[in-house]
Amino acid sequence: MPSELLVEIFLRLPMFYLFRLIYCVCKSWCSAVLDVIFPSPGLLDLSRMGTYPTYQHKDYLRFLKILLDTRPNAQWHTLVLPPPLVWLKEHAILYIAQ
């Protein structure tokens, strides 16, 4: 199935399903989930994490790690952090910066 179609479908699902079930089906589905969670190429916008319930922060960070590990580092030119960085540990910020 084309990635664009998967993204359109996944945009209509609750984040819980993306975080827990959908991403593990196959690599193309995982890639489509990453495109839903981090939609802007070149912009690593973490401000959306503040809109998720606290219990989903760990899942969000897991997807951030998958994103940073699987997509080229050179494509990220802008990083947007949410105002309260209480939930983001120092080692996570260093990992993102690298």
Find, among 32, 27, 34, 38, the residue nearest to 7 by Cα. Answer: 32
Predicted structure pTM score: 0.73
Residues 6+ apart with CB under 8 A from 76: 42, 43, 44
pLDDT at 5: 93
pLDDT at 98: 65
Residue spans of the domains in the chain: they are 3-97
pLDDT at 83: 67
pLDDT at 45: 80
Comparison of pLDDT for 90 and 31, the residue scoring more? 31
Mean pLDDT for the chain overall: 79
68 band by pLDDT with thresholds 50, 70 and 90: confident
Q: Count of residues for the chain?
A: 98
